[in-house]
């Protein structure tokens, strides 16, 4: 039971004992005392003064006196400021907590979370990096709260964009392969996607100079006509097209796996839109037969969502080919059939907000499928760069592989400039990778997912700011301190704290912050927001460094004081490590 719940329960008892007044106090109303006042927790008495015919100060004082007499094992002192009862707990309460590490499970649901969702026409870029890091961190956080989490990926391995890469290779590739080009497979396929766009722009420019209108260009572009024909042949299972498609996608998957491994990303299952779209088409056909969808004269199939405050939504094109909504309907049904999750969370950028509103409504309202209401869209903002937005077809993206290598080199450069580290070559390489990847992940995850963000690699690697290297260095500093204690044969694990032990301010503030970890974790799970964990780690690292600078630890002469401080330091290291691991970030034992 949390301290807030204990205090709320005790105050309920006091109100009944003193005034024969029965009420249920929400423990969430017991808030942390503001820093400018003395106390650990604050209870606001105003909601009860009318019923009890007491002034706010009188009521708060009577409750406070009762707490310090009959509940003295918990409450040390109190003060009243304008109806706010500030409660100061006994130091032994905090001391005993400093030994506790395990977080109690608070939830027990099966949750499916989709993240990554790449296209097989290009390598992963910075936008995908944010998607993967958010999805992985949220999955970790939900698991830490006791949920069973199924991590899934949906690979967009079909559609017009895939055909563009395939067609460009057929026309301009001269039988080149990733091996002959000396390129990673996903980069190689992405090169042909960019090439298609360049050739299309040439064709359009030529057509316009020959007198074609913009509307005519869109309909008569030979490259686009051939790409559409290729898509149709793919859906008709034309062997040659299918064979080329499988070969190019295979090269892409090899490239994706290398990127995922370096990012520390994994999935319990990967779905492929080339398989799920058929289930989606079947669902649409069934809905058409039941009259919940309708067909236009050109043969296209639509859902009318005007009664739900939206508009009409295309489900099948006039030529019978599917759209994103088609395969998402099929994928949702397949996932529900396989896992029966209580929640299905989709980590997808905020430009798809409307899409997921439609998906939820089509499933729940039109098709009357209860699991439609379990769909949640974790909508995140875009990652922006100093030079503007990224555009895949123009080749102006920040490639994930290049970015990770840049972060490694930045970590290496910064570390060598500081001159602090003395490692063998392999150990140094491992450390630079840990620092570089930690810097990348933390810089992205410390921002609320809903917000757009500006990415700056140099700022992310700073050892003194709100960065992973600062937190990683703090963890290494604590471990060094504990190793020194062990070397000096200082025992501190089994200390029995005297009931009259008085905590100093730095000690107490650090323990209180450690105590708050469980609340932060639960809030992060409820809001699907890893930034709460990231910024908690920074605050904890800052508070430890204040503790480290202001009071002696190993040099403390009194054995009990020294033991308390070493236990607090150890708890701090364990919490930093556990919290950073939720973000997918490793922390070094030494630096």
Domain match, 311 and 385 both: yes
In a domain, 490, yes or no: yes
Could you tell me the pLDDT band of residue 493, with boundaries at 50, 70 and 90? low
In a domain, 47, yes or no: yes
Rounded distance between C-alpha atoms, residue 280 and residue 369, angstroms: 14
Domain count, the chain: 4
Domain match, 422 and 553 both: yes
In a domain, 44, yes or no: yes
In a domain, 577, yes or no: yes
Three-class DSSP labels, 200-263: HHHHHHHHHHCCCCHHHHHHHCHHHHHHHHHHHHHHCCCHHHHHHHHHHHHHHHHHHHHHHHHH
Place of tokens 């790449």: 118
In a domain, 460, yes or no: yes
| Residue at a domain's end among 343, 371, 397 | 397
Domain match, 469 and 562 both: yes
In a domain, 588, yes or no: no
Contact yes or no for 40/51 (Cβ under 8 A): no
What lies within 8 Å, CB to CB, of 60 at 6+ separation is 43, 45, 80, 83, 84, 85
| Residue at a domain's end among 397, 414, 433 | 397
- Could you give the 3-state DSSP secondary structure of residue 546? helix
Domain match, 502 and 573 both: yes
| Residue at a domain's end among 234, 267, 300 | 267
Could you tell me the pLDDT band of residue 395, with boundaries at 50, 70 and 90? very low
pLDDT in tens, 208-252: 888 888 778 877 889 999 999 999 999 899 999 999 999 999 999
Contact yes or no for 443/460 (Cβ under 8 A): yes
- Residue 408 is part of which domain span? 400-582
Q: pLDDT averaged over the chain? A: 91
Give the β-pairing of 148-155 and 110-114.
parallel
Q: What pLDDT does 499 receive?
A: 65
Domain match, 283 and 187 both: no
Exposed, middle or buried by CB within 10 Å (0-12, 13-18, 19+), for 566? buried
pLDDT in tens, 280-333: 999 999 999 999 999 999 999 999 999 889 999 999 999 888 888 999 999 999
In a domain, 99, yes or no: no
pLDDT in tens, 109-155: 999 999 999 999 989 999 999 999 999 999 999 999 999 999 999 99
Q: What is the pTM of this model?
A: 0.90
Domain match, 282 and 244 both: no
Q: What does the longest C-alpha to C-alpha distance in the chain come to?
A: 94
Rounded distance between C-alpha atoms, residue 170 and residue 252, angstroms: 17
Domain match, 213 and 299 both: no
């Amino acid at each position: 039971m949390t301290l807030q719940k204990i205090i709320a329960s005790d105050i309920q008892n006091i109100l009944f004992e003193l005034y024969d007044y029965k009420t249920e106090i929400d423990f969430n109303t017991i808030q942390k005392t503001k820093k400018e006042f003395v106390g650990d927790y604050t209870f606001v008495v105003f909601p009860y003064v009318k019923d009890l015919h007491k002034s706010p100060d009188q009521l708060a004082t009577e409750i406070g006196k009762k707490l310090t007499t009959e509940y003295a094992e918990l409450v040390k002192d109190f003060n009243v400021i304008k109806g706010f009862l500030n409660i100061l707990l006994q130091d032994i309460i905090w001391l005993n907590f400093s030994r506790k590490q395990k977080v109690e499970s608070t939830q027990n649901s099966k949750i499916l979370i989709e993240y990554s969702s790449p296209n097989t026409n290009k390598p992963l870029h910075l936008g995908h990096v944010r998607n993967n890091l958010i999805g992985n961190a949220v999955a970790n956080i939900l698991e830490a709260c006791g949920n069973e989490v199924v991590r899934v990926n949906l690979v967009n391995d079909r559609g017009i964009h895939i055909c563009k890469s395939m067609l460009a290779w057929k026309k301009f590739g001269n039988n080149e392969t990733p091996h002959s080009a000396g390129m990673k497979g996903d980069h190689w396929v992405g090169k042909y996607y960019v090439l298609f766009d360049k050739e299309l722009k040439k064709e359009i420019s030529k057509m316009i100079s020959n007198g074609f209108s913009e509307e005519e260009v869109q309909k008569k572009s030979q490259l686009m006509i051939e790409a559409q024909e290729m898509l149709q042949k793919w859906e008709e299972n034309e062997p040659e097209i299918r064979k080329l498609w499988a070969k190019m996608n295979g090269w892409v998957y090899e490239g994706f796996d290398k990127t995922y491994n370096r990012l520390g990303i994994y999935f319990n299952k990967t779905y492929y839109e080339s398989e799920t779209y058929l289930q989606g088409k079947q669902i649409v056909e069934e809905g058409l037969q039941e009259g919940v969808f309708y067909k236009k004269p050109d043969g296209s199939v639509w859902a009318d969502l005007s009664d739900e405050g939206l508009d009409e939504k295309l489900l099948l094109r006039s030529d019978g080919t599917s759209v994103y909504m088609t395969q998402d309907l099929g994928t949702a049904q397949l996932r529900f059939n396989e896992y029966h999750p209580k929640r299905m969370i989709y980590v997808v950028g905020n430009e798809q907000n409307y899409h997921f509103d439609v998906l939820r409504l089509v499933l729940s309202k039109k098709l009357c499928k209860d699991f439609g209401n379990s769909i949640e869209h974790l909508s995140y903002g875009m990652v922006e760069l100093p030079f503007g937005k990224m555009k895949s077809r123009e080749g102006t993206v920040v490639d994930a592989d290049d970015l990770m290598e840049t972060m490694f080199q930045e970590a290496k450069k910064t570390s060598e400039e500081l001159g602090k580290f003395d490692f063998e070559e392999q150990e140094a390489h491992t450390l630079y990778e840990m620092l570089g990847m930690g810097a990348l992940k933390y810089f992205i995850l410390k921002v609320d997912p809903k917000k757009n963000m500006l990415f700056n690699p140099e700022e992310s690697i700073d050892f003194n700011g709100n960065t992973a290297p600062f937190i990683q260095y703090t963890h290494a500093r604590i471990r060094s301190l504990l190793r020194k204690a062990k070397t000096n044969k200082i025992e501190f694990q089994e200390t029995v704290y005297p009931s009259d032990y008085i905590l100093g301010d730095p000690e107490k503030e650090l323990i209180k912050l450690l105590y708050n970890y469980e609340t932060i974790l639960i809030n992060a799970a409820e809001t699907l927001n890893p930034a709460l964990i990231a910024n908690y780690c920074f605050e904890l690292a800052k508070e430890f460094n204040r503790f480290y600078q202001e009071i002696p630890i190993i040099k403390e002469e009194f054995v009990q004081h020294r033991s308390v401080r070493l236990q607090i330091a150890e708890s701090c290291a364990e919490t930093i490590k556990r919290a950073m691991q939720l973000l997918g970030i490793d922390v070094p034992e030494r630096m």
